[in-house]
Amino acid sequence: MTFPEPSFRELIGDAVHYAASKLFEPSVIHAAPINTIGCFLLQHLMQREFRPVAGSIGVVAGGTPFGLEADLAKIEAHEYYVWIEARHEDGRIEVVDFASRYWRAWAKGVGVLWIGASPPDVVWAWKDEVAADLARYETEPEITERVRYTVSAAVEQRSPEGPVQAWEDAINDAIHFVASSERGLAFLAEAGLAEPVDEAEPG
């Protein structure tokens, strides 16, 4: 199994950012909704299971490590970070994080000087191969289960005041963003999610 080429990973990341920007001003404090939208988008685009995961993150890429330690006692205060994972048949775990582009602003917000290269627009790698000088993701199983239950319950209940309609609108906005580029439209056609466009013969 190979991941989508880097340019397409970046395109999906840009699509998630565009869609999230129509709902709120994206930042790392919105990692949960950003990666929830991204999770549903990936399931639609890639036609396989991706699931939200919650826990701690340690960011190293900026030069001075910082991050967020998950705290089960403070789950109501959202003391945890959310990213996306997909478990493959061989047991390896694919990790995707669409909130990484906001790490530099996060560092500034917590008083940490970011002296490294700009953070990636999206982290997309095997979990056991995420660079040690990039970030550390540590799953907190109980918080993860609560996050997944909350997402599933929201989808099942679909209350007018709930987030599901906003998620669906964001996913549609992201798909339209992807389809607005030639390479994105080609990917959607290859995945069977769009009809290929044939160039009309001249004359």
Report pLDDT digits (tens) over 49-108. 999 999 999 999 999 999 999 999 999 999 999 999 999 999 999 999 999 999 999 999
Gap between the Cα atoms of 102 and 21, Å rounded: 13
The two three-digit tokens of residue 173, written as one number: 């906005």
Let me know: does 85 contact 20? Beta carbons within 8 Å: no
Residue 198 is predicted with a pLDDT of 57
For residue 36, give the 3-state DSSP assignment: helix
Residue 158 is predicted with a pLDDT of 79
Report pLDDT digits (tens) over 138-149. 999 999 999 999
The pTM for the full model equals: 0.90
